[in-house]
Amino acid sequence: MKTKKDLRSAYRQLRKGLQPAVIEANSQAINLQFLTWLADKSHLQHFHLFFPIDRFNEVNTFYILESLEQMEKTLYTSQVNKGETELETLKLPKEAAFFLDEWGIPVPQESLKVSPAKIEVVFVPLLAYDLAGNRVGFGKGFYDSFLSKLNPGVIKIGLSFYGPEERIQPDAHDVPLDFCFTPEKVFTF
């Protein structure tokens, strides 16, 4: 079994080779997988999104943002303030304008810091995941800490350009995913 460090390195390398057009096409395909999944779940109203760091070739979640805004859903994101170790929850205004913070993360220019208590669905950034929903993130632990403080019934969704690994050894503090959407498939854990 590969270590998290090995997986982190391997998937960073895989992503480095992705061309912008491939990232956009696959991000749009992931959005379509999400919309198909969401079609019979109109009761879900509160969604927490991460936004892509371009240099890491992450899934472009702005397609999901646009889809959810068209459905009049309530949207949230998070930010980490310099020197802090916890994510702050921000409620997004409709058609928010974004700027890049010091880490290259798109952050809304205007937002309201709120409690995460209403969040029903969280999109979780990742580099790799396995058939049980265990994931490898960027190694800072921000999302595992954030997820552990949310309501237990929150739906945790990973987004990936790639299929799952067979098995990733989770750490005690890791919070597994409920689903992972790829361009071709929805994995349920």
Low-confidence ranges of the chain (pLDDT < 70): 81-85
| Predicted local distance difference test score (pLDDT) of residue 68 | 97
| Predicted local distance difference test score (pLDDT) of residue 2 | 86
| Predicted local distance difference test score (pLDDT) of residue 82 | 64
| Predicted local distance difference test score (pLDDT) of residue 85 | 66
If one counts the domains in the chain, the total is 1
Q: Are 108 and 137 in contact (CB under 8 A)?
A: no
- The predicted-structure confidence for 79-119, as pLDDT tens digits, reads as follows 876 666 678 899 998 888 898 887 788 888 888 899 999 99
| Predicted local distance difference test score (pLDDT) of residue 79 | 84
| Predicted local distance difference test score (pLDDT) of residue 173 | 85
Q: What is the pTM of this model?
A: 0.93
Domain that holds residue 125: 4-188
| Predicted local distance difference test score (pLDDT) of residue 138 | 82
Sorted by sequence, the CB contacts under 8 Å of residue 29 that are 6+ apart come out as 183, 184
The CATH number assigned to the domain holding 160 equals 3.40.50.10420
DSSP string, the chain: ---HHHHHHHHHHHHHT--HHHHHHHHHHHHHHHHHHHTT-TT--EEE-----GGGT---THHHHHHHHHTT-EEEEEE--TT--SPEEEEPPTT--EEE-TTS-EEESS-EE--GGG--EEEE--SEEBTTS-EE-SSS-HHHHHHHTS-TT-EEEEE-SS--BS-----TT----SEEE-SS-EEE-
d(CA 63, CA 163): 21
Do the strands 186-188 and 112-113 form a parallel or antiparallel pair, or are they unpaired?
unpaired
| Predicted local distance difference test score (pLDDT) of residue 101 | 83
